Amino acid sequence: MLRVLICAGAMALPLSAFAFTASDLNRLCTKTDVASRSACAAYIEGAADGIFNTIDAIGGTTGPRVGQYFCLPPDARSAQLTDAVRKYIADNPNVAGYNASTAISLGLGKAFPCKTGNGS
């Protein structure tokens, strides 16, 4: 039983201490194999959805609101999101240590800012 607890503790420690950074995301996104490119796009899309849903839960996403970082056009493609985030990370090396989802928010905000006055 003690061996099971030690193994479980050893496995949990790296999971709790790990943070996926902007630098990690950029490294993943620069790989050229299909699996890495798909994982990069999926991570960015998933984070964007999560951020959007969080904002929706705390006050809505029908227009620029306090805390809203980006407003994606309805026809935005996965490659556009990935390119925007990678460009932001490349142009702002100081974000390399940020949590990847923070860099995604900032990158999408730079590329897809919310327009004031038109509700999108």
CA distance linking residue 114 with residue 120, whole number of Å: 6
Q: Which CATH number fits domain 18-111: 2.40.170.20, 1.10.150.20, 3.30.360.10, 1.10.890.40?
A: 1.10.890.40
- pLDDT (tens digit, 9 = 90+) per residue, 11-36? 444 444 468 999 999 999 999 999 99
**Are 48 and 104 contacting, i.e. CB atoms less than 8 angstroms apart?**
yes
Q: Per-residue pLDDT for 50 more than 50?
A: yes
- pLDDT (tens digit, 9 = 90+) per residue, 57-96? 666 555 544 456 788 888 999 999 999 999 999 999 999 9
DSSP state of 75: T
Q: Indicate the domain borders of the chain.
A: 18-111
* pLDDT on residue 28: 96
